[in-house]
Amino acid sequence: MAQDDKTPLFNWRVREQLLSRRILVLDGNLDDDNGTVLMTQLLTLAAEDSEAGISLWIHSLGGSVPAMLAIRDVMRLIPCDVSTLALGLACSAGQFLLSAGTKGKRYALPHARILMHQGSAGIGGHAPEVEVQADDLRYTVKTVVGLIAEDTGQDFDRIYEDSLHDRWFSATQAQEYGFIDRIVDSFGQVIPQRQRVGISK
């Protein structure tokens, strides 16, 4: 009888190997658990070395808005540059974190795809509850759209209109729009540079 469950190949041993090279990975959906892990890893790596860069590799269909906002807050808080890389898909929250990387260090692989949209609200309940939820949704949308506009250099109104419906970008289109700075064409672009120890000439 076939088993649906399988041992994940991208396990904690692999993640620890990447962490030792200051590489973090958002794979799959962003939720409260893996969002908290990414936040604490960013803070820990920054505490260990405040000058060395950190890389965040993204292959994600999106997920939690509170988690993505908190991760961006941490990325802005720490003194380290945070390079971002779209591996295959960077959708919704993945797109948000991709464009939130350090300017000049936001990358995508040549055939990566990026999706921007506002996401779903899931509003329901009695009228007063719906009104409160609607107010919170408006605040969240305004916040997220404003941050994407800040990170991409686009006008707020353009981001708002473009995000009303699913909008897909190729790597080239993502670069033109301002989600990324470069399309990867060399290995050195995606691996954090280690700090050199010793006396430099």
Which residues are designated catalytic? Answer: 92, 117
| Nearest by Cα to 76 from 68, 65, 85 | 68
SS (H, E, C) 102-141: CCCCEEECCCCEEEECCCCCCCCCCHHHHHHHHHHHHHHH
**Reduced DSSP (H G I as helix, E B as strand, rest coil) percent helix, strand, coil of the chain, to 5:** 45, 20, 40
Half-sphere exposure of 94 toward its Cβ, with a 13 Å CA cutoff?
28
CA 101/CA 105 separation, integer angstroms:
7
